[in-house]
Amino acid sequence: MARNDKGQFVKGKSGNPSGRPKNQTFTKELRMFMNSTGNSGEHRLEYIVHVLYHKACEGDLQAIKMIMDRVDGLPTQHVETRTFDTIKVVDIDGIESPNDKILG
């Protein structure tokens, strides 16, 4: 890696010539791990699904919610907005002047 006399990388020369490591993300590694077989011979992901299902059958509300959110999707959230017709901006002193602006 080429550097100038101030210790900075020379223009046009990367400080990381190999670039970011490919395919080494946490998510990818976790997916590979979860799709592999555990000690019981069952896929880890299937095992977790069974545990979650049994928790829901026992009445665990968090497990029920988690399953419903994955199956039906999260409920839609509506946001109410209100608009006003006219907004008058006045000076702090409260005295109207020709420079006051009316927005809207």
pLDDT in tens, the chain (104 residues): 678 888 887 887 776 777 776 666 888 888 888 888 888 888 898 999 999 999 999 999 999 999 998 888 887 888 888 776 666 666 666 666 666 665 55
Query: Cβ(90)–Cβ(100) under 8 Å?
Result: yes
Residues 6+ apart with CB under 8 A from 90: 96, 100
pTM over 0.85: no
Query: Cβ(14)–Cβ(6) under 8 Å?
Result: no
Residue 63 is part of which domain span?
26-72
Give domain status of residue 42, yes or no.
yes
Give domain status of residue 58, yes or no.
yes
* Domains in the chain, number: 1
Give domain status of residue 4, yes or no.
no
